[in-house]
Amino acid sequence: MKLNKDMNILIVGLGLLGGSYAKALTDKGYNVTAVTKLQHSIDYAVENSMIISGSTEVNAETVGNADLIIFALYPTVFINWVECNQKYIKSGAVLTDVTGVKGSVVYKIQSMLRDDIEFISAHPMAGKEVSGISNSDPKIFTQANYIVVPTEKNTTEAIELCENLGEELGFYRVTRLNVEKHDEMIAFLSQLTHCIAVSLMCSKDDEALVDYTGDSFRDLTRIAKINDEMWSELFLLNKEPLIKEIEGFEENLFKLKKAIKENNREEIRKMMRISTIRRKRFDKRG
Amino acid sequence: MKLNKDMNILIVGLGLLGGSYAKALTDKGYNVTAVTKLQHSIDYAVENSMIISGSTEVNAETVGNADLIIFALYPTVFINWVECNQKYIKSGAVLTDVTGVKGSVVYKIQSMLRDDIEFISAHPMAGKEVSGISNSDPKIFTQANYIVVPTEKNTTEAIELCENLGEELGFYRVTRLNVEKHDEMIAFLSQLTHCIAVSLMCSKDDEALVDYTGDSFRDLTRIAKINDEMWSELFLLNKEPLIKEIEGFEENLFKLKKAIKENNREEIRKMMRISTIRRKRFDKRG
């Protein structure tokens, strides 16, 4: 199966990401329907031309027609959904997702899934600090990475379908990573940074500080406003890689602190020079 | 003495900040001259209408005429300068600075200073990731705080002169803090954040990461490109307050890590909720 405009695409979960997917695909001329928990999300999506129709019911009628199903749910909700409802899915359908952690999700889904349907995992690295369909916007994809995370169970056809989906959604870059590499990367680049921002905000309570805050502090703690329900789940589902990255960071902070304590200026400068060189690689290109 | 356009203002050190001060004050119609180490900085400043004239020599002629002297030097260079050259300063002159740490600078300067001249310390919380006069720009002041840091040795007159200077330079907000409060605030808001960014960059060396980096990581590590000469000096000159803030942060990161290790989701969520509430206070107003 190739991505094409005759296929029926079903989005499960109309939140920030589900809504943005729906809008992007409908704008491109695809047939998009949705199932989601709340009727007003469906009403909003229909009114804003994001889907043809939607339902709060999960059954043969609302699910059984879909060729491609995109799950935009929290990881544990996603796993439960598949467990309970895969019986409604059409034979030959392809499933994909938006889940931000992979090791604790992908193998579980693939091992419980019926043999005649395929799950190819993907992680759209896009988001906002706000949630819900009313904040959805396909523009969040244009600067972002879309990572396809195949396993040995996936067919080339499904991997390519998923890559095409990322392209059609308008992502800046579509790549592939294996499960372990994906989770390590996410632990370092995304989860550790959120742990740092949260810990920093927890470490001082002084309202007067606001008056002296510059851009460095604001930029560093922007992500400290955090959806605690979603992120606590993501942290726990990626626990081992995350703990490893936190400890790597702790070691280096300890090393820097020790150098400061011991007036070891050369060691401080050495770390700063390494930091400067490495950070330059991360400057946005053109 | 009040700030007025008949007075002679001398800037010592034409780097990013000295240059920005020079330009801002000259544009407002003040008489500004400069002494600095390199002739080409003077040439640049004269060509760009930042000063009337300047010299690389420090003597009675280049210094002795100034009513207000602004030191835009690294802290230790500043202390040495005053020690060697205060003999040239006119009786009744007021001295101020741009130094980012106060406890290790202000008392030293004030105790060595001649009785007929006064030093009132200030910290313009403005900067860039780049240095040098060619990057100077008074626009860096318009969103920034200017903090006057008086001690018991200062006169009301000099404190007010210094506050007027901050206003004339175009700072967003001019405030007063005592030395200890200033250094604690700087340790937390500025130095700790730089320690975090540097330690984070030192904790992983993987060029492939760049391809997956999103805005959170980029924002958090923007300050990891760091002038190692200046910042290592600032860290060591504010060692005690900085170590205290690093340790406060370490404790909270450890607490979060422990909660993740123990699957204590409620504790994780609690920290995230505290973080979210506190961070909202730091949102930019208007």
Q: Is it the case that residue A161 has pLDDT exceeding 50?
A: yes
B256 to chain A, any CB pair closer than 8 A? The answer is yes
pLDDT above 70: percentage of residues in chain B: 99
pLDDT score at A68: 98
Nearest to A228 among B196, B236, B273 (CB): B273
Q: Note the pLDDT tens digit of each residue in B268-282.
A: 999 999 999 999 988
pLDDT score at A257: 98
Written as one string, the DSSP assignment of B66-80 is -SEEEE-S-HHHHHH
Cβ neighbours of A284 in B, within 8 Å:
218
Token pair recorded at residue B78: 């500043």
Inter-chain touch A226–B250, beta carbons under 8 Å:
no
Q: Which helix (H) or strand (E) holds A90?
A: none
Inter-chain touch B275–A195, beta carbons under 8 Å:
no
Q: Is it the case that residue A283 has pLDDT exceeding 90?
A: no
Average pLDDT, chain B: 95
Q: Which of A267-281, B66-80, B201-215 has the lowest mean pLDDT?
A: B201-215
Q: What is the distance between the alpha carbons of residues B97 and A213, in angstroms, rounded to a whole number?
A: 20
Q: What is the distance between the alpha carbons of residues B110 and B119, in angstroms, rounded to a whole number?
A: 6
Q: Note the pLDDT tens digit of each residue in A33-58.
A: 999 999 999 999 999 999 999 999 99
Q: Note the pLDDT tens digit of each residue in A128-156.
A: 777 899 999 999 999 899 999 999 999 99
Q: Is it the case that residue A83 has pLDDT exceeding 70?
A: yes
Q: Note the pLDDT tens digit of each residue in B226-271.
A: 999 999 999 999 999 999 999 999 999 999 999 999 999 999 999 9
pLDDT score at B209: 84
**Nearest-neighbour CA in chain B from A203: distance (Å):** 5
The pLDDT of A224-245, averaged and rounded, is 95
pLDDT above 90: percentage of residues in chain B: 88
Q: What are A96's strand-pairing partners?
A: A70
Q: Which of A157-171, B16-30, B48-62, B121-135 has the lowest mean pLDDT?
A: B121-135
Q: What is the distance between the alpha carbons of residues A279 and A10, in angstroms, rounded to a whole number?
A: 41
Cβ neighbours of B276 in A, within 8 Å:
224-226, 228
**Nearest-neighbour CA in chain B from A179: distance (Å):** 14
B185 to chain A, any CB pair closer than 8 A? The answer is yes
Binning pLDDT at 50, 70 and 90, where does residue A207 land?
confident
pLDDT score at B286: 44
Token pair recorded at residue B231: 């910042």
Say which residue, B75 or B129, is predicted with more confidence: B75
A285 to chain B, any CB pair closer than 8 A? The answer is no
B130 to chain A, any CB pair closer than 8 A? The answer is no
ipTM: 0.87
Binning pLDDT at 50, 70 and 90, where does residue A286 land?
very low
pLDDT score at A285: 58
Binning pLDDT at 50, 70 and 90, where does residue B285 land?
low
B142 to chain A, any CB pair closer than 8 A? The answer is no
pLDDT above 90: percentage of residues in chain A: 88
Token pair recorded at residue B127: 């900067």
The pLDDT of A9-31, averaged and rounded, is 98
B38 closest CA partner among B23, B56, B62: B56
Handedness of CA B268, B269, B271, B272 (dihedral sign): positive
Inter-chain touch B223–A204, beta carbons under 8 Å:
no
Residue with tokens 């992500």: A223
pTM for the whole thing? 0.86
A9 closest CA partner among A48, A60, A63: A63
**Nearest-neighbour CA in chain A from B4: distance (Å):** 28
Inter-chain touch A216–B224, beta carbons under 8 Å:
no
pLDDT score at B206: 83
| Window 224-253 of A, Cβ < 8 Å to B | 224-226, 228-229, 231-233, 235-236, 239, 242-243, 245-253
Q: Note the pLDDT tens digit of each residue in B191-207.
A: 999 999 999 999 998 88
